[in-house]
Amino acid sequence: MGNMNVLINKARIEKRLDEMAKEIEKDYEGKDIVFLGILKGSVPFMWELAKRIKNNVIFEFIELSSYKDNKDTGVLTFHKDIKDSIEGKDVIIIEDIVDTGKTISYLLKHLKEKNPNSVKVATLLSKPSKRVIELNIDYEGFKVEDKFVIGFGLDDNQNLRNLPYIGYIE
């Protein structure tokens, strides 16, 4: 493994999480919100965001991926779907990073069939330079350059998701 570099430190992440939480509270005043986390990378972001929000937040998880051995295979595989109904609910998809946009756009189509009242997208990170499918991100933590980032949920081939900061390997 090469040298680990810090791209976004813990303090910056926490400050941004406070801001994002405030925005969400303002947009969903008095409403329950379903946080739909995409496993596994969204777990730390989901918790850190949810605990800053006064609304009642319901946790749901879905698992789908196109990555294998740190490479984008281009084929999305569904591993786990939502168990409970989200019909009539206000859903925010919680993602670690939006790269090509394929995962989110696929998921948005999939969720439509479940008739939620609304669906928005929150992501900790976004790589706009890699976008293949244009999509609207409602809550975006940080834009990052085209680097393979790890930590705060993001993995290096399943490892190092527990780093408390966003880093990259040189």
Smallest distance, ligand 5GP to C-beta of residue 27, A: 23
- Number of residues lying near ligand 5GP (CB under 6 A): 17
Give the pairing type, strands 90-98 and 118-126: parallel
Residues 37-76, interacting with ligand 5GP (CB under 6 A): 41, 66-67
Q: In angstroms, rounded to a whole number, what is the distance separating the alpha carbons of residues 144 and 142?
A: 6
Q: What values do phi and psi take at 89, rounded to 5?
A: -95, 160
Give the number of other CB atoms < 10 A from CB of residue 19.
12
Out of 103, 122, 124, 152, the residue judged to bind ligand 5GP by CB under 6 A: 103
d(CA 23, CA 17): 10
72-101: contacts with ligand 5GP (CB under 6 A): 95-101
Decide whether 75 or 87 has the Cβ nearer to ligand 5GP: 75
Say if residues 148 and 33 touch (Cβ distance below 8 Å). no
Candidate residues 148, 159, 162, 164; the one interacting with ligand 5GP per rule CB under 6 A: 148
The CB density around residue 9, as the number of other CB atoms within 10 Å, is 12
72 in active site: no
25 touches ligand 5GP by CB under 6 A: no
Which residue among 99, 146, 155, 156 is the active-site one?
Answer: 99
Minimum distance from residue 18 beta carbon to ligand 5GP (Å): 23
Residue 80, number of CB atoms within 10 A of its CB: 11
DSSP state of 128: G
Nearer to ligand 5GP among residue 32 and residue 72 (C-beta): 72
Catalytic residues: 99
Q: Which residues are near ligand 5GP by CB under 6 A?
A: 41, 66-67, 95-103, 148-150, 154-155
